[in-house]
Amino acid sequence: MTQTTDRASASADKRDARAAAAAPDASGAFTHRQIMTILVGLLLGMFLAALDQTVVSTAIRTIADDLQGYDLQAWATTAFLITSTIATPLYGKLSDMYGRRPFFLFAISVFVVGSFLCGISTSMYELAAFRALQGIGAGGLMSLALTIIADIVPPRQRAKYQGYFMAVFGTSSVLGPVIGGFLAGQDSILGLDGWRWIFWVNVPLGALALGVVFKNLHLPHRSNKHKIDWPGALGLIVFLVPLLIVAEQGRTWGWTDPKSLIAYVVGALGFVWFFLAERSYGDDALLPIRMFKNRTFTISALSSIVLGAGMFGGILLLPQYLQIVHGSSPTVAGLQMIPLVGGIMLGSISAGQIIARTGKYRLFPMVGVVLMVIALVSLSFIVDADTSVWSLVPFMVLLGLGLGWNFQPIILAVQNAVSPREIGVATSSVTFFRQMGGTLGTAAFLSVLFSALGDKVPAAYAAASGTQAFQAAAAANPDQAAQLQGAGTNLADTSIFQRIDATLAAPFKDGFSSSIDLVFLIAAGVVALGFFVLVFLPQLELRTTSGMQGQQEGAGEAATRSANAAGAAAPTSAAATAAPSQDGAPAVDTPASSTSTTDTGRHAVVTDQPVGRHEDVAAPEHGKHEGDDDTPTGLASIPADHLPSGRPKD
């Protein structure tokens, strides 16, 4: 029994020692080694969420075919999008109230469980449900990772570390199609469908992230007594769900279809509900309305919507162009996007280093917008059916640089401008607005693309049909020519244009390239709006303390103010007490009129007797403002400098 107790005690001591080694010092500061160890877990968590989206989007057609639900495949994407978008601000607010660590561990755990369940799906309905569960976890992985790094690293140094997050995001956009294309292309791995491993690969990665975070992330526990804004959360759901659904399904339904109109109305009612709930809950709101009075927060939120839309417009359409016009497989298209990722990594890391040295962040987002506009406008002019992939490389790098110089400085500016106690809700809100901008931008740009295809592809075929080469190819391949009926409007399978005669496919590729050019130009215009928004972004001095240190300082200042307030409220009447002399001599009786006081700026506060009810502690009896014969009472008990003018003074 004693040995068991000793072993348990030793195990507890080891756990305490590990926790102490991973904990910050008394001032709340972490060492560089501690930060890098924590950063590994945060990056793994973010990598899971970012990789999953690109992997699944590459393989979704294979998955849908295998589960015999091709017409339902969009719901697997929509379910994930809905839950991850709604969960993002919830994680931010709740982590501000109860601490980051438990919610980050919860997010990883839910994501891993959802990934495992997705891998055993037997229908598209099951897959959509499990993807929704995955989204609940994914909503916390990105926003909480950025929030935790803000807790442990001061803003002046934070930009260096946040550059790694953009690097991970960019890397996942390359690895996702490569991994997704490889796994989806395998008939079976260990006797199971290849596509199922797309989800199961998250399980060991998630377990590793969970272990690293559990062992190394030790932040002070917080439990602020606030109301949870359940009405606001429900209002947000009612607001977002119909809008996200119509954003995904609007092209199929039609933007003026009755189902779309109902979604608009329900979304508008949800927005009103959400706004009223937030105004009612004040500081306890999911997204406090007063935060929009902070200029940095408001500008950052607006720019995130605009730039999110423009970014996704560019990143989404480049792979589409490479696959449809150049015939690249998803795997090859992912590799061809490496210059874009290299630009993102170079931009984010260089911006972080320069900001750490200079403390200036305002210029980077504006220059980044200019670079993005130049890249998108250039792409709109050079992209055509015969453009070499190598000629796209400089503009991919330029677009990546613009993205890298944008997002992390904006996150940094917001985290620096708000109270350390609200870093969670501020970070998650900016992430949320970026996601919404990306969702709306994707829906809008795809709608523009398909509308343009309906005009440009038929026009290209009409122009080509009169040429001798096209007529000869059509005569030699009548079955292929028959498949061209409805080209430009029937886009269920674009792979046929890689299989048919090149002459017959050329008009479609010309029309598609012209449509992409139009979308790039519109995206450039949207991104340019971001420049005029960012002009109003203020340059604030970067704090030299981390979020955790700022909270500790804030708590200390609050305690000091509370003590001063208590002192200011103390009675000003004094009585004779025994006090030691300054030279250490025995205590002597001191008259009340000479009682020592401390000036708090409002009243003289008695420092050598307990707070009471204006009672004389030296009197034999207490009560009713009574005193002995030698103790002043009434006006005589009040210091002369506290008497109003015109009143008699002794």
Dist CA 138 CA 136 (whole Å): 6
Residues 534 and 616 placed together within one structural domain of the fold: no
- CA 413 vs CA 82, 125, 156, 297, 417: distances in Å: 27, 42, 11, 8, 6
Domain holding 85, by residue range, is 30-220
Could you tell me if residue 355 is inside a domain?
A: yes
> For residue 115, what is the domain's CATH number?
1.20.1250.20
Q: Of 513, 530, 547, which marks where a domain is finished?
A: 547
CA atoms within 13 A on the CB side of 445: 30
Residues 208 and 69 placed together within one structural domain of the fold: yes
Q: Of 175, 203, 220, which marks where a domain is finished?
A: 220
Q: What is residue 528's predicted lDDT score, i.e. its pLDDT?
A: 92
CA-wise closest residue to 137 among 117, 166, 164: 117
Dist CA 296 CA 24 (whole Å): 30
DSSP 386: T
Can you read off the two tokens belonging to residue 576? 């004779």
CA-wise closest residue to 169 among 261, 3, 28, 47: 47
DSSP 606: E
Residues 489 and 346 placed together within one structural domain of the fold: yes
Residues 604 and 543 placed together within one structural domain of the fold: no
Could you tell me if residue 239 is inside a domain?
A: no
Q: What is residue 563's predicted lDDT score, i.e. its pLDDT?
A: 54
Classify the C-alpha dihedral 408-412-418-422 as positive or negative. positive
Dist CA 35 CA 39 (whole Å): 6
- CA 125 vs CA 71, 90, 118: distances in Å: 11, 26, 11
Residues 206 and 297 placed together within one structural domain of the fold: no
Report whether 367 contacts 410 (CB < 8 A): no
Dist CA 43 CA 432 (whole Å): 19
Report whether 595 contacts 585 (CB < 8 A): no
Report whether 505 contacts 497 (CB < 8 A): yes
Dist CA 149 CA 35 (whole Å): 8
DSSP 541: P
Measured torsion, CA atoms of residues 607, 609, 613, 615, in degrees rounded to the nearest 10: -130
Residues 343 and 490 placed together within one structural domain of the fold: yes
- CA 314 to centroid of chain Cα atoms: 20
Q: Is the pTM of this model over 0.75?
A: no
Residues 602 and 525 placed together within one structural domain of the fold: no
Can you read off the two tokens belonging to residue 463? 């122009």
567-590 burial, b at 16+ Cβ within 10 Å, e below that, comes to: beebeebbbbbebeeeeeeeeeeb
Dist CA 486 CA 64 (whole Å): 24
Which backbone phi and psi does 597 adopt, to 5 degrees?
A: -135, 160
Domains held by the chain: number: 3
Residues 435 and 346 placed together within one structural domain of the fold: yes
Could you tell me if residue 390 is inside a domain?
A: yes
CA-wise closest residue to 286 among 87, 425, 101: 425
Residues 518 and 613 placed together within one structural domain of the fold: no
Dist CA 495 CA 310 (whole Å): 27
Q: What is residue 6's predicted lDDT score, i.e. its pLDDT?
A: 57
Strand-pair category, 192-193 with 604-606: unpaired
Could you tell me if residue 574 is inside a domain?
A: no
Could you give the angle at which helices 32-66 and 100-119 cross, rounded to 10 degrees?
30
358-369 burial, b at 16+ Cβ within 10 Å, e below that, comes to: eeebbbbbbbbb
- The stretches of 477-616 forming alpha helices (DSSP H) are 478-482, 496-499, 502-534, 547-568
Q: What is residue 24's predicted lDDT score, i.e. its pLDDT?
A: 60
Give the DSSP H or E segment for 579.
strand 577-579
Could you tell me if residue 552 is inside a domain?
A: no
Dist CA 133 CA 459 (whole Å): 45
Report whether 144 contacts 23 (CB < 8 A): no
Say if residue 8 is exposed, middle or buried (CB neighbours under 10 Å; 0-12, 13-18, 19+). Answer: exposed
Give the DSSP H or E segment for 354.
helix 338-358
Q: DSSP characters for 443-479? A: HHHHHHHHHHHHHHHHHHHHHHTTSHHHHHHHHH-HH
Could you tell me if residue 586 is inside a domain?
A: no
Could you tell me if residue 88 is inside a domain?
A: yes
Q: Of 174, 198, 220, which marks where a domain is finished?
A: 220
Residues 459 and 340 placed together within one structural domain of the fold: yes
Could you tell me if residue 48 is inside a domain?
A: yes
Tally of CB atoms within 10 A around 148: 28
Q: What is residue 352's predicted lDDT score, i.e. its pLDDT?
A: 83
Residues 471 and 602 placed together within one structural domain of the fold: no
Which backbone phi and psi does 187 adopt, to 5 degrees?
A: -65, -40
- Length of the chain counted residue by residue: 650
Residues 167 and 91 placed together within one structural domain of the fold: yes
* Residues contacting residue 582 through CB under 8 Å, at least 6 positions apart: none
pLDDT along the chain (650 residues), means of 10: 56 53 59 83 85 77 74 75 86 85 92 92 88 90 86 80 76 78 80 86 88 80 69 88 80 81 92 90 83 91 87 74 82 82 86 86 92 92 88 91 87 88 86 84 81 83 82 80 66 69 83 88 90 91 72 55 52 43 40 41 42 42 44 44 44
Q: DSSP characters for 425-449? A: HHHHHHHHHHHHHHHHHHHHHHHHH
Which backbone phi and psi does 535 adopt, to 5 degrees?
A: -55, -30
CA atoms within 13 A on the CB side of 194: 14
Three-state SS annotation for 402-418: HHHCCHHHHHHHHHHHC
Which backbone phi and psi does 457 adopt, to 5 degrees?
A: -65, -50
Can you read off the two tokens belonging to residue 125? 């309905």
**At residue 548, what is the residue type?**
M
Q: What is residue 608's predicted lDDT score, i.e. its pLDDT?
A: 42
93-126 burial, b at 16+ Cβ within 10 Å, e below that, comes to: bbbbbbbbbebbbbbbebbbbbbbbbbebeebeb
